[in-house]
Structure 1
Amino acid sequence: MIFLQELARGFQDDPDTKTFLITGATDDDAEVQRTSLRELARSFKNDSDTKTFLITPATDNNWNLRFVTVQKLARSFQDDPNTKTFLKTCITNDNNWNVRYIAVQELTSNFKDDPDTKNFLKTCATNDNSWNVRYAAVRELTSKFKGDPDTKIILITRAIKDDYWKMRRAAVQELARSFKENPETKTLLITRAKEDDSACLRLRAVRELARCFHDDDSSVFDVFYNCAVNDPFECKEEDETNPRRIALEIIIKQFPQHPQTLPLLRDKAENDPDEQVREFAQKKLKQWER
């Protein structure tokens, strides 16, 4: 593949170079095809037939080739009105989430000001069957269309109702980062920290509460305390993080003078069902009592 790159970049003026790349674009080896398409788009963008050779793999059974095609067409032929239509078709019809994902990104990057772009993102954020594509759409909405009232509504809906915990967690993160000042954000974080059935999402909600609202009233302490005492986490994999430990850690750091902090630490050191939480509490208790 380095050979193809060096050929295209070192011998661009040689007519045989383009011919060689065109041949490579139909090679049986997918990596040769991808590299040839990239170099055609980079070195021969202005040639009349380059776009034709880029469009051809758009219906290929190999999603990697379709991915490259979407990316290169969007970046090399942004001014062609057919490019926008092509990206919308990929978002709507391609059966691979990777291709839809890159199409969402390229549509937003290159056609943000098109009225249809925002509507496409709203539809993807709600209806795409891949959480990766829903997240890409949510992220682009938050980044490019934060001022649209529907953006916040979509984030709240995804944070509560999305079927997949990773999408709910992503929506929680975006809300905390982009809508911290909105009263609904704090309420939603508190609710997710207490009620979500995913330990990873409860953990994220607790972390975002600590990051965004650590100077708030006692209601935030109560959330952390409730999590440290009552979170139902049960370790299933070695690398999982217990929300009870994180909540305890936050309380020690942000509320060291609270009258319930030391009693809670002592209780966790003796009674938490998770050995790692007990060990953490015991270590902190020794430091506290020095």
Structure 2
Amino acid sequence: DNSGNVRRAAIQALASNFPDDPDTRSILKDRATADNSGNVRRAAIQALASNFQDDPDTRSILKDRATADNQWDVRRAAIEALASNFQDDPDTRSFLKDRATADNSGNVRRAAIQALAKHFRNQLELFEIYYNCAVNDSFERRHHPWSHPNPRRVALEIIIKQFPQHRQTLPLLRDKAENDPDKQVRDFAQQKLAELQKYGTKSSFSP
């Protein structure tokens, strides 16, 4: 069909109603990589991850789409699907760490950071990734929580929630409150500093 919306609906219907049909898997694999509509590729990626985690090709396709797809929303969907369905794979964490710094889209970097924080919670060895993102991410627009979240703001919030007692958290917060180019990030950091001053302990940060 020439309509991407129709193909996407067909993909979703196939995955929901015929997950055990061998042809379903083949069609999903093909559409995840070859369809010219990003919406269709995204739907196929999500269907593959939900229904065919045991197929070794699924992981490879997700990683390929997370790095090679020319649309950021497809890359983001692949990252989220990989993190949700393959968090026990030793390679997943390393892959997400790479995407958190290497992708040229702030939305994809932010998704990778959030996936790390969600699926690999409170792991001290990830502090450096969050810190690097909070300090160095190149996002240039103004933070908006729905349309374009700033990865620096997202990383800063993760650090405050998961590492409030880390020796670098308070200095980072002070630096962001004064020097971040995004006013929304500065305001957020100033708010958290005010909470710290009020409650007198780093463990009293509100969510």
Shorter-chain TM-score bucket reads 0.7 to 0.9
Number of equivalences: 191
Structure 1 stretch displaced more, 173-182 or 163-172? 173-182
The residue aligned with 2:68 is 127
**2:194 matched to 1:244?**
no
Assess if the C-alpha contact under 8 Å between 1:189 and 1:205 holds in 2.
yes
Q: Between the two proteins, what is the percent identity of the paired residues?
A: 38
For the pair shown, the structure with the greater C-alpha radius of gyration is 1
TM-score, normalization by structure 1? 0.63
Q: Which runs of 5+ in 2 are unaligned?
A: 141-149, 202-207
User: What is the alpha-carbon distance in structure 2 between the residues aligned to residue 84 and residue 255 of structure 1?
Assistant: 56
Q: Specify which of 158, 163, 183 is matched with residue 208 of structure 1.
A: 158
Q: 1:255, 1:218 → 2: CA distance? A: 17
Q: Which moved more, 1:151-160 or 1:247-256?
A: 247-256
Letter of the 1:205 partner, please give it: A
The aligned runs of 1:139-288 (5 Å cut-off) are 139-198=80-139, 200-214=150-164, 216-233=165-182, 242-256=184-198, 257=200
With 129-138 and 97-106 compared, the bigger mean Cα shift is at 129-138
Question: C-alpha deviations, 1:85-105, integer Å up to 9, x for none?
Answer: 000000110011100011011
* Residues 133 and 155, structure 2, Cα contact 8 Å, conserved in 1: yes
Point out which structure has higher relative CO (alpha carbons under 8 A, 6+ apart).
2
Partner of 2:4: 63
- C-alpha contact 1:125 1:154 (8 A) present in aligned 2: no
- Normalised to the residue count of structure 2, the TM-score between the two structures is 0.87
Q: Is the 8 A contact 2:122 2:162 kept in 1?
A: no
CA RMSD of aligned residues (A): 1.5
Q: Deviations over 1:135-170 (max 9, x none)?
A: 111111111111112211111111101001111111
CA distance in 1, matches of 2:154, 2:123: 18
Structure 1 moving runs of 4+ over 2 Å: 180-184, 254-258
- Cα offset for 1:73? 1.4
Alignment-mate amino acid for residue 70 of structure 1: I
Mapped partners of 1:176, 1:109: distance in 2: 21
CA distance in 2, matches of 1:77, 1:207: 41
